[in-house]
Amino acid sequence: MKMIDGGICAAKGFKANGIHCGIRKNHSKKDLALIISDVPAAAAAVYTVNLVKGAPIAVTKKNIANGYAQAVICNSGNANTCNANGIEIAEAMCDLVEQHTGISSSDVVVASTGVIGQPLDITPIANGMDALCEGLSYTGSMNASNAIMTTDTYAKQIALEFELDGKVCHMGGIAKGSGMIHPNMATMLVFITTDAAISPKMLQKALSSDIATTFNMLSVDGDTSTNDMVTVLANGMAGNTMIEEDGEDFDTFMKVLNTINVNLCKMIAGDGEGATKMIECITSGADTLEAAKIAAKSVVCSSLLKAAMFGADANWGRILCAIGYSGADVDVNKISVTFCSPQGQITVCENGAGVAFSEERAKTILLEKNIEILVSLGDGAYGATAWGCDLTYDYVKINGDYRT
């Protein structure tokens, strides 16, 4: 596989656009996105586990229950959550797609992101549909990516080219996510497109399997969102033989999907609200995969550790503390910790105890934007990776006046 340009429009037959329709007060911020496939596509999705769910999730679940979709519409600035008429508004958004594109409203994925508990007026969305549809383009991924952002500081997109059954295929994704990011699914909005041919059953299997080691290992602030989801549309226009069972082609598809998702995880973690650093905790030597995952997630979720990373303070005790209360079945007397960055690496703990190290050298390593925390849990065969960010003054500032 190789990285290419194009985002969600890298795959054949997908066009997209994003505009400002008036949901957000800032006219320089796009707030309505549309993604269209030229043909019906296999569809799969995973959703937030928060008991409070946005109305668009219920409508999307209903619409893709048959395993197919052809369009995605998403607004930012308003989550359409905890609204008495939320289902009605989400369905109206799907109806607008049908009216303006001819695609059945029952083949539309609908999503919303933004402030919870504020009524969402359908009027600006309806008024913006002409411009949104007229601007649809096979190079419109960036416009759509910008339109789904809330507190994100930059658009997040990626695309890959790969081969299946001798056919050149493509997969691309866009994501939004900066705050309210915490396991388990979904914790953000991610839209992925591919021209590979794969059955809805196998597409759902691929997505559900992959999130266990990607998006479910991502945390910015410990708050699980009410709205967010990851969706994949596969329209089959690359012409490969349909993937309908496990095998070499499915394995290749899984590797590509994993690469897309890992890269989007890193982008989201690095763009956490107020963040200055992306933290990647890599555990190894665990006796079970579950222990490796629990330990890694606990480290990136620790507010004390996140604050230490903001201050470039090699306070490794906070790592052991986080593992100790995580519930992971580990022998704390076997834990070793190493900090890594482009400036090099430094071991600060071995066998559960501190070792002599240069604080100045450690600080130089931790002043970098991308930090790896390598945690050896023993001599077991399992490892895991989790992603997070530092905790800064700006996180409080952003969320202190987010609504007003």
DSSP for 28-53 reads TS--EEEEEEEEEEEEEEEE---SS-
The CATH 3.60.70.12 portion of the chain extends over 2-270
Alpha helices in 211-302 (DSSP H): 248-270, 289-301
Out of 46-60, 82-96, 138-152, 203-217, least confident range: 46-60
Residue from 101, 113, 151, 187 carrying the catalytic annotation: 187
pLDDT band, residue 342 (cuts 50/70/90): very high
Phi/psi at 250 (5° precision): -65, -40
Secondary structure string (H, E, C) spanning 125-157: HHHHHHHHHHCCECCCHHHHHHHCCCCCCCCEE
* Residue range 136-153: mean pLDDT, rounded: 93
Specify the pLDDT at position 404.
Answer: 57
pLDDT at 403: 58
pTM summary value: 0.85
Q: In this structure, which topology does domain 2-270 adopt according to CATH?
A: L-amino peptidase D-ALA esterase/amidase (3.60.70)
Q: Which pLDDT score is estimated for 48?
A: 78
Q: Express as a percent the part of the chain with pLDDT over 90.
A: 76
> Does 101 qualify as catalytic in the annotation?
no
> Which of 2-6, 175-179, 212-216, 268-272 is predicted least confidently?
175-179
Contacts of 266 (CB under 8 A, 6+ apart): 278, 280, 387
Q: Which residues contact 38 (CB under 8 A, 6 or more apart)?
A: 13, 14, 15, 235, 237
How would you classify residue 144: left for phi > 0, otherwise alpha for psi between -120 and 50, otherwise beta?
Answer: alpha
| Delimiting residues of CATH 3.10.20.340 domain(s) in the chain | 278-400
pLDDT at 226: 65
Q: Indicate the burial class of 378 (C-beta count within 10 angstroms; 0-12, 13-18, 19 or more).
A: middle
pLDDT tens for 296-329 read 999 998 989 999 999 999 999 999 999 999 999 9
**What is the CATH topology of the domain spanning 278-400?**
Ubiquitin-like (UB roll) (3.10.20)
44-48, 56-60, 288-292, 315-319: which range is least confident on average?
44-48
Q: Model confidence over 180-237: pLDDT tens digits?
A: 444 444 347 999 999 999 999 999 999 999 998 898 888 765 555 666 789 999 999 9
- Is 331 or 84 the better-scoring residue by pLDDT? 331
Q: How far apart are CA 98 and CA 276, in angstroms?
A: 42
Position 399 scores a pLDDT of 67
273-297: average pLDDT: 93
Residue spans of beta strands (DSSP E) within 165-320? 167-176, 189-194, 229-234, 278-286
**How high is the pLDDT of residue 148?**
94
For the chain, give the number of residues: 404
pLDDT of residue 228: 79
Instruction: Name the amino acid, one letter, at 279.
Output: I
Per-residue pLDDT tens for 93-102?
999 999 999 9
Average of per-residue pLDDT across 372-394: 92
Residue 247 φ/ψ region, left for φ over 0, alpha for ψ in the -120 to 50 degree band, beta for the rest: left
Of 18-22, 27-31, 146-150, 177-181, the range with the highest mean pLDDT is 18-22
| Residue for token pair 């999730």 | 57
